[in-house]
Structures are given as structure tokens and as C-alpha cells.
Structure 1
Amino acid sequence: MWMNATNTTSVRGDTEARRRGILDAAAAILDVGGYAALTIRSVAKEAGMSPGLIYQYFVDKRDIFAALLFESQQELTAFIAELPRNQGISALIAAIVPETTKQWARVGHVASVWRTTEDASNSDGQAVQDLRHSTEAQFAELRTALEDAAGAQGLSLREGPSLIPFVWAGLMGLADTIVNNWAQDLDPTEYITYSADGLARAITH
């Protein structure tokens, strides 16, 4: 019994380690060559595995990318959930920026290419299915945080279907600017504060 339990733990650990290795290899490829460079063969080479082994974990390359984005969204959702809400909405948005910038740098900058070129919305892969739920959870947590932070200031959100997409677009624009150093003459902290203030004013009354 002890040997069986040990073997089971070992197999599970090996499985998780291989999956982690695949995702890390994919992230490295995306960073250098973008989504076009991401193939099962390139991931296998980067990870030091056979293509057949990759297929045991993922349906195709879009499934791999979906898993990376899913993982990143889960991390962001957990991060937002832990942020204090009592310092106001501008402070909340500014506090979110480092994590959304991390997400954008890792996978977000090629997400639109993935969705467009792969018609990812029609994929039946488990990773893509999980991603849909993860996206909903991420945006729900963001909305809750914004509501709480606005309430702490005695403000209300300007409700409407465009609210979260507008905030998200602002956060992604900030991430793009920071990662690519488009505003190199500006102090990053001052730029984030200014942008967060602008977003906060735009979505509250």
C-alpha cells in the first residue's frame, strides 16, 4: 500500500512537471517569436520532449495558449481578490496595473492574434472551455473590486455593458505602454497614477 501511494504521487508529480515544462516552453517561444512561432514541434523541442508526449496533454497549439492564458487569469483574479478596497478606486486601479502588465507581457499581447487566426471561440478543447469560465470570473472579480472601492469613496459606478471592457482596455493600453516603453520620458509611477485617476473619473459619478 505504501509503495502504491508513493508511485501514485510520483506519477502525479511527473505529470504536473511535464505540463509545467510544456507551458514554460510555450511562454518562452511566444516571448521570442510570437504566436506564429508556437507549434507543437517547436514546443516539443524547447521542452525537450517528443511531439507525441505534448499531444498527451494538449489538443493543439491553441489549447496550449489557452492554458497559459487561463493560468494567467487565475493569478490575476486571485491578486485582485486580495487587494484592499478602502483606499478608493484610483488607488485600486493603480494597484492592479503591475499584475495586468505581467499578464499582458506573458500572453496578453498575442491573445488577439490567437482568437482571430485560430477562431478560438469554436474550440472544444478543455483548456479553451476552462478559459471561458476563467475570463468570466476575472471580470466578475474586477467589477466587484471596482464597486467596493467606489463605495468606499461614496461613489457609484457608471453602469453599462461597456464598463468592464472599457476598464480592461485601459489596463491593457497601460500594459502595452509600460512593456514597450512608449512613454520613456515619463516616470512610470506618475504615469500609472495619472492614468488610474483618469480611468476612475471616467467610470464613477
Structure 2
Amino acid sequence: MNATNTTSVRGDTEARRRGILDAAAAILDVGGYAALTIRSVAKEAGMSPGLIYQYFVDKRDIFAALLFESQQELTAFIAELPRDQGISALIAAIVPETTKQWARVGHVASVWRTTEDASNSDGQAVQDLRHSTEAQFAELRTALEDAAGAQGLSLREGPSLIPFVWAGLMGLADTIVNNWAQDLDPTEYITYSADGLARAITH
């Protein structure tokens, strides 16, 4: 096989995998994790179930790939954010991306984890996600430390710090996606919430 054909095959493989993940994301948007099956993904992607199995073991494997991809994207996004405007501005800048993650996979991640961990807690998908979660939270901590330092502040260190910030970001995402605060201006709501989180974790 020459170089051109090799590139073509690789491109086709990546395109099919991308198509499968996009189809799965569309199904999650409409029906949640319960609606995600190999058959439904195959139908949405315009592929045969057999072809799906060439790329993913089962629906849990597909969801794990989506969550892993989303975490990597968020980690890279946070790494590129400026920190010189302070911690409140940093948190506000993170919100759109964490909202995107929550809307795509975050709101059903607990269902996936319950199912996957119960049957295969040492599976490769779970191991990969543990590493990507650690990397995501490590990048978040570094960004918060840098932004706080730019203001001459320090973080209130403790094991609850990152879970607290993450819970705040996920709560914001839930509110924004579901429009729970429809009478509020989204930008003002994000700014207010970011200010509150920033004050809660610094001294």
C-alpha cells in the first residue's frame, strides 16, 4: 500500500469514528443514555451495527470516548486561558466550555459511571477516564492558582477545593442549559456566580 492509500484509509477510519461519536452525541441530546444503543448509533450514523463494533466494544465504550474527548478539549481550553485578569475573570471564561461539556455528556455521566464501574471498574475506558479527569482537574487547579496569584491572593487549600469549584461550574451549566434562570441576563448571572466562587476559594 502506497503512502497516498495509507493516508486515505487512515482518513476514512478517522471520519467513520468521528461520525459514530457525533451520532452518539446527537442521540444523547434527545434521549439520554438509555437511548444510546449500538443499533441506534448505527442508524443515526448511517452505518451497519457490525461496522460500529469495529470501532467500539459497546455503548459504554462509545460514551467513554465522548467523555474522554470532552475532558481533553476542556483541559486544553483551560491551559490557553489568560490568568492576568484575576480568578473571577478566569472562572467566567471557563463557564462556556464547561457548559458545553455538561450539555454534551456531563448530564448523563453519572449514569454511565454507575453502569460501567459496577461491571468493569478496572476496564481500560475507566482507567483512561480517571487519568483524563485527573489531568483536567490538575489544569484547573494550576489556572486558579495562577489567577489568584495575579491578584495577590491565595487559594483556600484543601481536598474540597476543586470538587467545590467543579460543583459550582456544573451547577451553572445546568442552570444555563435548562434555562432555569430565564429572567436573568446570562452574562450577568455568570459574572455574579464567578465572583461568588472566587471569593469563596481565596483569601
Instruction: Quickly name the TM-score band, shorter chain normalised.
Output: over 0.9
Q: Unaligned 5+ residue runs, structure 1?
A: none
Q: Unaligned 5+ residue runs, structure 2?
A: none
Report which stretch shifted further, 177-186 or 112-121: 112-121
Report which stretch shifted further, 47-56 or 27-36: 47-56
Residues 90 and 121 (structure 1 numbering): CA distance in 2 closer, same or farther, change over 3 Å? Answer: farther
* Contact 2:23/2:45, CA 8 A, preserved across alignment: yes
Return the alpha-carbon distance in structure 2 between the equivalents of residues 73 and 118 of structure 1.
18
> TM-score, normalized by length of structure 1?
0.95
Residues 120 and 75 (structure 1 numbering): CA distance in 2 closer, same or farther, change over 3 Å? Answer: farther
* Contact 1:63/1:125, CA 8 A, preserved across alignment: no
> TM-score, normalized by length of structure 2?
0.96
Return the alpha-carbon distance in structure 2 between the equivalents of residues 98 and 43 of structure 1.
27
Residues 120 and 189 (structure 1 numbering): CA distance in 2 closer, same or farther, change over 3 Å? Answer: farther
- Percent identity at matched positions? 100
Offset at residue 120 of structure 1 (A)? 6.4
Return the alpha-carbon distance in structure 2 between the equivalents of residues 60 and 48 of structure 1.
17
Offset at residue 47 of structure 1 (A)? 0.8
String of CA shifts for 1:20-71, please: whole Å, max 9, x gaps. 0000000000000000000111111111111111111111111100100111
Return the alpha-carbon distance in structure 1 between the equivalents of residues 120 and 27 of structure 2.
24
Equivalent in the alignment of 2:105: 107
Offset at residue 117 of structure 1 (A)? 3.0
String of CA shifts for 1:159-180, please: whole Å, max 9, x gaps. 1111101000000000000000
* Contact 1:44/1:54, CA 8 A, preserved across alignment: yes
* Contact 2:84/2:150, CA 8 A, preserved across alignment: yes
* Contact 2:148/2:202, CA 8 A, preserved across alignment: yes
